[in-house]
Amino acid sequence: MNNGKVAIVSGAGGGIGREIALELARTNASVVINDIGVSVTGEGGSSNPAEETKALLDELRVKSVVDTNSVDTWEGAQSIVETALKTFGRIDIIVNNAGILRDTIFHKMTPEQWLSVINVHLNGSFFLSRSAAEHFRNQQSGSYVHMTSTSGLIGNFGQANYSAAKLGICALSKSIALDMKRFNVHSNCIAPFAWSRMTNEIPADSEEQKLRVEKLKKMTPSKNAPLAAFLASDNAKKITGQIFGVRNNEIFLFNANRPIRSVQRNEGWDLESIEEHAIPSLKGNFVPLDRSGDIFSWDPI
C-alpha cells in the first residue's frame, strides 16, 4: 500500500507512535523514527525509545532511521525532514504524533505549562508539516496524519493547554487540506483512544475504578495504527480535511462546527433585546458543558 514511500512519525519511541511506525513498515514504507525520549511531562531525553522501535522495524526488514531532533522548534523540524531526504531521498508521509502532558486546573496553570504543551503539539505539528510542504508541492503528492484528541473536540478537566492545542491541530489540518489540495496533498486527523503512558495515571482505587481501568486497557495503542496507515496511503488520497476517532474496535467520524440556529431583528440588537429575545430563542440549542467521558459513556466495544 505504501511501497517505496517514506514516512516521518514523530513520537515514535513508544505507544501509538511506535504502533503507527510498525504498521507503516508492514505496508512497505521506510520510516524516520523521530523521538527525543522524554517523560510524559517532557523531562529527560534519550535515544533508547527510538532505538527500541528501530529494532522492531529491523525485524520486519524495513528501512528505518532514528532521529532525535525536537519538533517544537522550526530548526528541529527542518532537521527531521533533512534526515528523511539524506537517508531515503524523499518524503511522502508526515504523522504528527509527538506530545507531552502538563495537566493543571486552569486557574493554577502557569505560562510555562501552557507554552510547553502548545509548543510540542500545535507548533510542532505546524513546524514539521510546513517543513515537508515544499517537497510535497514539488512532487505533487503527500499525506499528513495528525493526532488530535476528544479533550479538544469535546472537553476535559485540567487540560486547557492540551485541549487548545489539539483543537488547533484540527484547524491546522483543515487549512492544509484546503491550501494543498491543488498539489494532490491530503490531510486528516485522528482522535485516538488508547491505554498508554499518557493515560495510565487514571485512578484505580475503588473496585468500580479498577473495573473501568481493566476495560480501558483493552484499547491498546495498536488499535489506532491501521487507520493512520490507511489515511497515509494513496488509497485515501481523496479523503481530506476529516476528523476520525478510533476507540478499540470502533471508528468514528466527527462533525465540524456549523451554525445550528439564528435569530434576527430588523431594527438591530441592544443589550435588553438580546437578553429578552435572542438568548431565550437560542438557549434550547446551547451546547452542554460535556466532557469527553460524558459523550463516550459506554464501554469500549
Q: Can you tell me the distance from the alpha carbon of 204 to that of 220, in angstroms, rounded to the nearest whole number?
A: 18
The answer to whether residues 254 and 243 touch, using CB atoms and an 8 Å cutoff, is yes
Given a contact cutoff of 8 angstroms between Cβ atoms, the answer to whether 139 and 85 are in contact is no
> Nearest CA to 133 among 74, 88, 192?
74
Active-site residue identified among 114, 126, 144, 162: 162
Largest CA distance in the chain: 72
Query: What span, in angstroms and rounded, lies between the C-alpha atoms of 218 and 288?
Result: 29
SS3 38: coil
The answer to whether residue 144 is catalytic is no
CA contacts within 13 A on the Cβ side of 260: 10
Cell numbers representing residue 272 in the block: 435588553
Question: What counts of helices (H) and strands (E) characterise the chain?
Answer: 12, 8
Quick one: cell of 158?
485540567
Distance CA 268, CA 276 (A): 14
Q: DSSP letters of 7-20?
A: EEEETTTSHHHHHH
DSSP state of 117: H
CA nearest neighbour of 19 among 220, 214, 253: 220
Measure Cα distances from 256 to 177, 179, 205, 214, 215 in Å.
Answer: 14, 18, 37, 32, 29
Antiparallel, parallel or unpaired: β 250-253 and 243-247: antiparallel
Residues belonging to the active site: 162
